[in-house]
Chain A
């Protein structure tokens, strides 16, 4: 499966080509869309292939798995790749209407492809340090994306965003170093093998080292204490792309938490990290929704809702600390299902919000007024996405919350489940606030300010997906359960990665046993 790295090579080369094409507006759009379409088709094929044939791995650079760089695709990776690439394509399609030629000059499409590269890379990598590099690629692209247009407010907010993420990156490298010092490897499969044998005092050291990584991922996912950067910086991202930011970027943090803390760290007492996450998740949910309730700016409200929703996913990861393996599997499957639902619905809401802003000419709820009269279809899209976010029955939000609540109740975590239910009601309140002020109230103008029908197509695809996911839930839930199985019973993952076929070149350049032994001793 050498072709696995196409998932990152396609956006990489497209980004380079697009950078050279800067200024040829139509050609740029065509190339960007064609490349994303190819990528999406390819990753969906990969999903079916991996689901049928098990974990795939490709090792780069001729050094075998514990030392070399491994790219691994298991089911979770493929699910995330499909979401990221598919959403990337829809967002670029949407941007055809929102991004002006002036903005396009700021390397809009090359940056979008670079962001796809970083995000796909962080999903596909099988090595913690490589994850750091992928994060940096993704972050650099997102800094550029946030600055598209370079108005003063964007520059100010980007500065904050860079500062907080630089601290995160520093901690990430320190975390890598300390984990390497205590466990002796950074390969995820090897980490899972080695940490499983660690007990006693050394296990405490490993847990302490892992907490550094937990801090970094929690920052990236916007978990409570580290949430305040998000509602300031996300609203300045150009409309359309903010759907991608909202859907994917924080979920990269959630994915990393899931991957590293469920799969990699298995030392004695590793549940401590998950208990911390469970505690933080309740606060994240509640604070996020309270922040959303007191805002009047549609982008701000939706940004605060990201935080509150991240709380649910982190709760799922936290529930995986339960001693009962069935609860663990249910919790992980619920989390994966929730991530899929959330990425689709959240970015959909941002896209609808972008249309409503354009139609009404304002982003302040009280000034928007009567979008339903100006653009009835937009109201229809919004209400489905909003009800799905709040967790109303026919849509995917209800099922994803139900699975997590079941896992919580089965594990006896009544407090956090009740917080989740309360949060869900408050979300409904906040959504109905947007609905009644922005969509229902008296219209402030006679006709829509801008043409919007083209923008509805990519949004409608997302809405259709959330309905399908709610009505025909079984295939999705089955896939999530199988993905959870690969994570919670990592034997297959470990076997495939560590026994990856060695080619001749690798055999020649492999370090002699002595060097390895010596390196072990020094540690």
Chain B
């Protein structure tokens, strides 16, 4: 049972890598989903899964434990599934946020944060953008973002012809 499983795991990892390298945020998230599935299959295989051995404790002889796969890897898989589910949900949310902020889901079109002093949108105060009003208090530019001002409106996704995304 190990050889077919190894092939499946390899294909899943390859497909996941290919998706992660695509210039499209949604596919990146899907790529991570494939990664987590491949990992879980790998853990099942590691646990000594064969055609004869079913789920742990089901249908096994309690005295000899014949027909029982190692019960620890399924435990690990359960935990890993829950975690990867949470991370995927968070990632999807953030991808949506990036799309709303920049109007694109192509990571290569996002601004390059080479030098934050030029970016002008970091929360810390830049001397030129927020001049000293003499009160000794720093105006917090973050509030602009919270109230919705200052956030760029959603741009329509630019149409690119003949480009595979």
Residues of chain A touching chain B, judged by Cβ–Cβ distance below 8 Å, are 67, 100, 102-103, 105, 129, 133, 136, 140, 143, 147, 149-159, 162-163, 166-167, 169-170, 173-174, 176-178, 180-181, 232, 235-236, 238-239, 296-297, 299-300, 357-358, 360-364, 367, 444-445, 447-451, 512, 514-515, 518-519, 522-523
Is B108 part of the contact surface with A, judged by Cβ < 8 Å?
no
In the bound complex, do residue B116 and residue A153 qualify as a contact, i.e. CB atoms below 8 Å apart?
Answer: yes
Closest to A147 in B: B94
Chain A residues with CB under 8 A of B76: 129, 173, 176-177, 180
Chain A residues with CB under 8 A of B152: 152
User: Given A149-B123, A150-B97, are A523 and B70 neighbors across the interface (CB < 8 Å)?
Assistant: yes
Chain A residues with CB under 8 A of B53: 522
In the bound complex, do residue B130 and residue A361 qualify as a contact, i.e. CB atoms below 8 Å apart?
Answer: yes
Query: CA A159 – CA B117 in complex, angstroms?
Result: 20
Chain A residues with CB under 8 A of B8: none
Query: CA A176 – CA B75 in complex, angstroms?
Result: 13
In the bound complex, do residue A232 and residue B113 qualify as a contact, i.e. CB atoms below 8 Å apart?
Answer: yes
In the bound complex, do residue B46 and residue A152 qualify as a contact, i.e. CB atoms below 8 Å apart?
Answer: no
In the bound complex, do residue A169 and residue B87 qualify as a contact, i.e. CB atoms below 8 Å apart?
Answer: yes
Sample of 11 further A-B pairs with CB below 8 A, known A236-B116, A523-B70 = A152-B145, A162-B94, A173-B39, A173-B80, A174-B42, A176-B76, A178-B46, A232-B113, A358-B124, A515-B68, A519-B65
In the bound complex, do residue B73 and residue A102 qualify as a contact, i.e. CB atoms below 8 Å apart?
Answer: no
Among candidates B83, B122, B138, residue contacting A449 with C-beta atoms closer than 8 Å: B138
Chain A residues with CB under 8 A of B137: 450
In the assembled complex, 27 residue pairs joining A and B whose CB atoms fall closer than 8 Å, in A order, are A67-B72, A136-B87, A140-B86, A149-B145, A149-B146, A151-B142, A152-B98, A153-B111, A153-B119, A155-B101, A156-B102, A159-B91, A159-B98, A166-B32, A166-B87, A170-B32, A177-B42, A300-B115, A357-B124, A361-B132, A362-B127, A363-B117, A449-B138, A514-B64, A518-B65, A518-B68, A523-B70
Query: CA A465 – CA B76 in complex, angstroms?
Result: 41
Chain A residues with CB under 8 A of B66: 518
Q: Which of B53-108 contact A (CB under 8 A)?
A: 53, 63-66, 68-73, 76, 79-80, 83-84, 86-87, 90-91, 94-95, 97-98, 101-102, 107
Q: Which of B108-165 contact A (CB under 8 A)?
A: 110-111, 113, 115-117, 119, 121-128, 130, 132, 136-138, 140, 142-143, 145-146, 151-152
In the bound complex, do residue A450 and residue B46 qualify as a contact, i.e. CB atoms below 8 Å apart?
Answer: no
**Closest 8 A/B residue pairs (Cβ):** A522-B48, A518-B65, A364-B117, A152-B101, A181-B46, A362-B127, A361-B127, A515-B65
Chain B residues with CB under 8 A of A363: 116-117, 122, 124, 126
Task: Provide the B18-46 mask, 1 if CB < 8 A to any CB of A, else 0.
Answer: 00100001001000100110010011001
Closest to B152 in A: A152
Total residues of chain B contacting the partner, CB 8 A:
66
Chain B residues with CB under 8 A of A151: 121-123, 142, 145
User: Given A102-B140, A367-B117, are A522 and B70 neighbors across the interface (CB < 8 Å)?
Assistant: yes
In the bound complex, do residue A153 and residue B121 qualify as a contact, i.e. CB atoms below 8 Å apart?
Answer: yes
Tell me the minimal C-beta distance from B56 to chain A in angstroms: 10
Chain B residues with CB under 8 A of A166: 32, 35, 87, 91
Tell me the minimal C-beta distance from B33 to chain A in angstroms: 10
In the bound complex, do residue B113 and residue A153 qualify as a contact, i.e. CB atoms below 8 Å apart?
Answer: yes
Among candidates B39, B70, B73, B122, residue contacting A236 with C-beta atoms closer than 8 Å: B122
Chain A residues with CB under 8 A of B86: 140
In the bound complex, do residue B43 and residue A156 qualify as a contact, i.e. CB atoms below 8 Å apart?
Answer: no
In the bound complex, do residue B142 and residue A100 qualify as a contact, i.e. CB atoms below 8 Å apart?
Answer: yes
Tell me the minimal C-beta distance from B123 to chain A in angstroms: 6
Among candidates A156, A357, A445, residue contacting B110 with C-beta atoms closer than 8 Å: A156
Closest to A181 in B: B46
Query: CA A127 – CA B125 in complex, angstroms?
Result: 44
